[in-house]
């Protein structure tokens, strides 16, 4: 790679790219659809003639992302928008190297990581053991986990109302569970950070804390990608937006420009006039946020 660099000399002022997507196609294969749905012969067909008869055997190809190209640079926070099923999350997973691409290439600087650890946790285990398990699954060392354990628990606020961390996670309310999951996921520092929406859940106080934490992680990470359906979150966090529609990149540009076009498209134009409200200020439960002075989200 070093030899290449000498031949094609880079302009000195060229910004450093962190993620390059080059004509990316992503295809899902779904079994058990179409003609012989679930019948014995179709199943036999699938085993015996996988390659030749994918269609005949009822395997359907779902083209989730088609021909997407973009370059992301260091220090950028990029929003991904589009209607449901437009391929945002899929693209994010491919950038993380978790979903194989069908055509094209994705180049990355270092290992991008998806903010999310839900799949590694087990509801039958105590919160404490899940913190360890989740940390290990994300690639933290035992020492790092030990070091940050208390911070994770404090940040999640699980123990605010008693010793809940030593109970199995299945006994948690859904809010408590998602708070702990976010706290575990947010405990690690990342080079390229990919955030899928709906992570920052919980009550108003916790939402504010997690928004702070995301900002903090942005400062450390080289590049941040954020998938969200909340236009105000995108406006607050990102300076550049990629708009995906039916798997194709419809627009790529500065936030305001793309958002305006997107809102015209979705018929959301009117709400745009209001300046984006602070998420915590808009929350209906001021009582929950009031008693404590702004907690420092130092995780």
Partner 1 sequence: MPRDDLAALAARHGLSVSGARPSLPQYIRRLWARRHFITAFATAKLTSQYSGAKLGQLWQVMTPLLNAAVYYFIFGVLLQTKKGVPDYIPFLVTGVFVWTFTQSSIMSGTRAISGNIGLVRALHFPRAALPISYCLQQLQQLLFSMAALLVILFVMGVPPALSWVLVIPALTLQFVFNAGVSMILARAGAKTPDIAQLMPFVLRTWMYASGVMWSIDTLLSKHAEWPSWVVDVLRANPAAVYIDLMRFALIDSFQASQLPPHVWAVATGWALLAGVGGFIYFWKAEETYGRG
Give min distance, CB of 107 to partner 1, in A. Answer: 4
Contacts with partner 1 by CB under 8 A lie at 1-2, 4-5, 8, 10, 14, 16-20, 22-23, 28-31, 43, 46-47, 50, 69, 71, 93-101, 105-109, 111-114, 116-120, 122, 124-125, 129, 132-133, 136-139, 141-142, 168
Give min distance, CB of 79 to partner 1, in A. Answer: 20
CA distances from 137 to 140, 141, 184 (A): 7, 10, 11
Nearest partner of 65 among 21, 114, 24, 112, judged by Cα? 24
Nearer to partner 1, 184 or 259 (CB): 184
Nearer to partner 1, 48 or 298 (CB): 48
DSSP letter for each residue of 19-32: EEEEEEEEEEEESS
Give min distance, CB of 187 to partner 1, in A. Answer: 14
Q: Please, which residues bridge with residue 61 across strands? A: 29
Give min distance, CB of 216 to partner 1, in A. Answer: 22
Nearer to partner 1, 130 or 228 (CB): 130
Give min distance, CB of 71 to partner 1, in A. Answer: 7
Q: How many residues appear in the chain?
A: 299
Nearer to partner 1, 118 or 166 (CB): 118
In whole angstroms, what is the distance from residue 61 CA to residue 156 CA?
A: 41
Nearer to partner 1, 36 or 295 (CB): 36
Estimate to the nearest angstrom the gap between the alpha carbon of 272 and the chain centroid: 25
DSSP letter for each residue of 37-88: TT-HHHHHHHHHTTTTTTTTTT-EEEEEEEEEEEEEETT-EEEEE-STTSSH
């Amino acid at each position: 790679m070093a030899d290449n660099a000498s031949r094609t000399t880079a302009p000195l002022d060229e910004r450093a790219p962190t993620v390059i997507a080059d004509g990316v196609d992503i295809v899902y294969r779904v079994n058990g659809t179409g003609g012989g749905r679930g019948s014995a012969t179709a199943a036999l067909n699938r085993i015996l003639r996988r390659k030749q008869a994918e269609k005949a055997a009822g395997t359907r190809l779902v083209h989730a992302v088609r021909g997407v190209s973009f370059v992301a640079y260091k220090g950028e926070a990029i929003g991904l928008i589009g209607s449901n099923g437009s391929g945002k999350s899929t693209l994010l997973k491919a950038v993380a190297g978790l979903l194989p691409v069908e055509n094209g290439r994705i180049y990355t600087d270092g290992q991008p990581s998806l903010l999310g650890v839900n799949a590694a946790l087990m509801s039958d285990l105590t919160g404490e053991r899940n913190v360890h398990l989740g940390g290990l699954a994300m690639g933290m060392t035992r020492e790092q986990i030990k070091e940050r354990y208390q911070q994770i628990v404090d940040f999640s606020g699980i123990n605010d109302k008693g010793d809940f961390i030593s109970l199995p996670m299945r006994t948690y309310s859904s809010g408590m569970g998602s708070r702990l999951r976010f706290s575990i996921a947010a405990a690690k520092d990342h080079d390229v950070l990919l955030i899928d929406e709906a992570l920052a859940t919980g009550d108003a106080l916790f939402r504010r804390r997690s928004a702070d934490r995301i900002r903090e992680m942005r400062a450390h990470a080289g590049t941040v990608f954020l998938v969200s359906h909340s236009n105000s979150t995108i406006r607050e966090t990102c300076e550049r937006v990629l708009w995906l529609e039916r798997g194709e990149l419809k627009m790529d540009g500065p936030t305001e420009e793309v958002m305006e076009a997107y809102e015209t498209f979705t018929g959301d134009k009117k709400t745009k006039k209001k300046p984006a409200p602070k998420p915590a200020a808009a929350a209906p439960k001021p009582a929950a946020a009031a008693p404590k002075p702004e907690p420092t989200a130092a995780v």
